[in-house]
Structure 1
Amino acid sequence: MSFDVPTDRRYLESHEWTTTEEPIRIGISAFAQDELGDVVFVELPAAGESITAGETFGVVESIKAVSDLYAPISGEVTAVNEDLFDAPELVNEDPYGEGWMIEIDPDDESALEELLSADEYREQIE
C-alpha cells in the first residue's frame, strides 16, 4: 500500500510531520493514522507551552491503541487545532490538512534540516 508523503514537510521516524515554512505546523502522517485506526481522542498542549524536540507533546488515542506524540523540533506552541477536540476523526480524514495538531514558534529553524526528508520517510514506511 502506498501512502501520501507530501514533499513540503520533514518527518520523524515516529511518524510526526512538520511544515518547514511559517506557520510551523505539526501532525501525524497518513501512514501513522492508518496504523492507528479510527482516532477517538487527541490530547495536545495549550498555546504558550513549550515543547522539546524528541520529547512527547501529546497523546493520540484510537480504537486500537494509545500513542505518544513526539516533537520534531523545540519551540513554543502558538496555536492548537481545537477542531480535533470535537472531531478527532479529522486526523484520519485529512492528516496533512484539517487534521494538523499544533503550530509552534521554533527555537531553531535549522533543526528542521536534521529531520527525514519525504523520500527518506517514504523509504522507511515501504
Structure 2
Amino acid sequence: MLSHLQKFFELDKIALELLIYQQKLILSNITNIQRKKYVSKNINFKKAFIEAVKQRQKDFNNSNFKIDYSKIVIEKRKNIPNSKNIKNNKNLDIERIEFLKNSILYQKLLSNIKQREHIFLNAIGVIK
C-alpha cells in the first residue's frame, strides 16, 4: 500500500517541479521582454509531465531522482492574434496572465496534496 502512496505522491512532486520550471520560464520572458532578439519561451506541460513520468518509471528505486530538464522541449510562444505584440512575440499582459495561471495551478496542487495527506493521516489514526 505504501508503494502505491509513494507513486501517487511522486506524480504530485513531478507536477510541482514542472510548474516551478514553467514559472521560471515565464519570469525569464517577463524579465527579457525589452530585449530585441529575445523570443518568449514556453513548455507543453502535458508532454513534459508525461515524459518526466516515463523517466521516473524507468528509475523508480532511485530516491534521488531529478527531472532531466534537458529533455524538456522549450517552445517559442505562439503568436496571439489581435494582440499588441512587441517584436518577437512578446506581450507583457500575456506573460502576466500565464504567470498568474501557473501560480494558481501550483497553489491548487499544494492544497490538494495537503488535503490528501490529512485524509491519509486521519485514516491511519495519526490525527483525529
Scaled by the length of structure 1, the TM-score of the pair is 0.29
Higher helix share: 2
State which structure, 1 or 2, has the greater radius of gyration over its C-alpha atoms. Answer: 2
